[in-house]
């Protein structure tokens, strides 16, 4: 079904997520299938990585990862994103079956340039929540609406979700995605991100042992 185009209007904001194409993606841990999607309403390009048969009706080991260019691609130790992504990919590879949705919403949804502005404010002493609020944003601007049509396209209904974020579990369940279990994903703690992880735990309610 590689050339099938699906247009899936989601309730609420007229979300249109279009499936574009799939290919192999060899990685150090497994050769995943890489699937491309475009959110026509916001123009964002999202990705999904799958391994094994995810459309067989059984709950799927899953990660919904929001883009963090600095952490995922530039090895930043200010956060734990790159380590979490790598840990999730390794876990899916070990299991031989799973899905990782990669949502292009940088910096908890505030965008890359604003994230640098927020980092500057954190360099001067604010925590991650204070910095986003100082710039006029909510403490977490991420949306997960696109996950529903992506999962529908892939045939995924129920998941074992790798996350430490209670808001993400709530958001996915509100979209009608069944979160059968939550799998903790603790990786990448280091001296540089201790304050950041503590703020995520204390101010955003993340389940992170600090």
Provide the annotated active-site residues.
Answer: 140, 142
Nearer to Zn ion, 40 or 194 (CB): 194
The reply to whether 208 sits near Zn ion by the rule CB under 5 A is no
Q: How far is the CB of 14 from Zn ion (least distance, A)?
A: 30
The first and second tokens of residue 71, run together, are: 């952490």
Interacting span for Zn ion (CB under 5 A) from 63-71, 92-100, 130-138, 174-182: 63-71
Alpha helices in 26-179 (DSSP H): 69-72, 81-95, 106-109, 112-123, 128-134, 147-154, 166-174
30 binds Zn ion (CB under 5 A): no
* Nearer Cβ to Zn ion (71/149): 71
Distance, in Å, from the CA atom of 5 to the CA atom of 113, rounded to the nearest integer, reads 33
Dihedral through CA 119, CA 84, CA 39, CA 132, nearest 10?
-20
Question: For Zn ion, which is the closer residue by CB, 64 or 68?
Answer: 68
Q: Which helix (H) or strand (E) is 201 found in, with range?
A: helix 194-203
Alpha-carbon span 70 to 204, nearest angstrom: 21
- Binding-site member from 68, 89, 156, 172 for Zn ion (CB under 5 A): 68
Asked if 85 interacts with Zn ion (CB under 5 A), we say no
Contact between 104 and 67 under an 8 Å Cβ cutoff? The reply is: yes
User: Using the rule CB under 5 A, is 103 a contact of Zn ion?
Assistant: no
User: In the bound complex, what is the minimum distance in angstroms from residue 25's beta carbon to Zn ion?
Assistant: 21
Q: Which residues bind Zn ion (CB under 5 A)?
A: 68, 71, 79, 81
């Amino acid at each position: 079904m590689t050339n099938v185009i699906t247009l899936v209007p989601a309730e609420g904001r007229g979300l249109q997520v279009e499936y574009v194409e799939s290919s192999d993606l060899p990685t150090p841990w497994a050769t995943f299938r890489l699937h491309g999607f475009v959110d026509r309403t916001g123009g964002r390009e999202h990705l999904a990585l799958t391994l094994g048969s995810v459309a067989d009706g059984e709950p799927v080991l899953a990660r919904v990862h929001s883009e963090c260019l600095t952490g995922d691609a530039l090895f930043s130790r200010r956060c734990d994103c790159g380590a979490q992504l790598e840990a999730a990919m390794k876990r899916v590879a070990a299991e031989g079956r799973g899905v990782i949705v990669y949502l292009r919403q940088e910096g908890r949804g505030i965008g890359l340039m604003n994230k640098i502005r927020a980092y500057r404010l954190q360099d001067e002493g604010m925590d991650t929540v204070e910095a986003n609020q100082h710039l006029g944003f909510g403490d977490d601007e991420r949306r997960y609406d696109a996950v529903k049509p992506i999962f529908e396209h892939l045939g995924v209904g129920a998941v074992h979700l790798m996350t430490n974020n209670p808001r993400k579990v709530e958001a996915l369940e509100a979209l009608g995605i069944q979160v059968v279990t939550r799998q903790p994903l603790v990786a990448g703690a280091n001296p540089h991100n201790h304050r950041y992880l503590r703020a995520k735990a204390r101010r955003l309610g993340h389940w992170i042992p600090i």
